[in-house]
Amino acid sequence: MDKTIPHRLSTLGHPQRLAVFRLLMRRHPLPVPAGEVALALGFKLSTSSAYLNTLFQAGLLTQHRDGTSILYGIDMPAVQETLGFLADDCCRGRPDLCQPERRLPLRVLFLCSANSARSIMAEGLLRARGEGRFVALSAGTQPAGVPHPQALAQLRASGIGTETLTSKPLAALGGPFDLALTVCDRAANEECPLLPGLPVSAHWGLPDPVLTGDFAGTFATLERLIGALVALPIDAMDRRALQGAVDDIALTLLEKTP
């Protein structure tokens, strides 16, 4: 048997390297500076760099320089190759045995830290635009307890009702989920419990309008993201196709956001 896959699995067997890998997976498809990885996980920069380099040498990460920063991302073809080996070997070539069944409507979770602005607006938008095909939910890793008034005002200005939107912890929601979207870097950096349903996940990181004051700009970006999600032919997409599609939405729309 080729040694590449066992080496990758052995590399991921180290708890701290696995934590780095999981962080980058949560932030995929956008790369993350090495210094931010260290800060998010509480590692010394030298320690974080060593873990990142080991994962890179194993073929699990990509690496490129941007000015004075080195950015790391997931080498998705390599990860897919590794998981494909596990599916063929452990699942006897039947990935359906190892993956939960997908159903419609799609239950979508928007997750951010405070669950007061970005995730609240995303939930409201998807409820309005994807009715019948999507069930929109949101939660916070450290919820503020109440939605931000300006987030609610943006929704109401577009004719979207806000009466049932609340700021709440993830534990207040029942699963399963089919798609989990983090809409802030802080939530994506944090370790989350295993979500019921083992949902497809993606990172749609947006600046915090509570800090920038740009609620209208954030709302406009979310409208484009939600519009692209609603336009997907989800009834004809398997998990792999859905994963690729939500990653592409982030790459094509968020990279163009000023």
How many distinct helices (H) and strands (E) make up the chain?
A: 11, 7
Neighbours of 138 (CB within 10 A): 30
Instruction: Give tens-digit pLDDT for 150-180.
Output: 999 999 999 999 999 999 999 899 878 999 9
Instruction: Give tens-digit pLDDT for 94-148.
Output: 555 555 555 679 999 999 999 999 999 999 999 999 988 999 999 998 999 999 9
Considering the chain, what is the average pLDDT of its residues? 88
Q: What is the pTM of this model?
A: 0.68
DSSP letter at 96? G
Find out whether 73 and 26 touch, Cβ atoms under 8 Å.
no
4-95 is classed CATH 2.40.128.130? no
Domain with CATH 1.10.10.10 in the chain: 4-95
Domain with CATH 3.40.50.2300 in the chain: 106-254
The CATH number assigned to the domain with range 106-254 reads 3.40.50.2300
Find out whether 20 and 48 touch, Cβ atoms under 8 Å.
yes
- Please report the pLDDT score of residue 7 as a whole number: 92
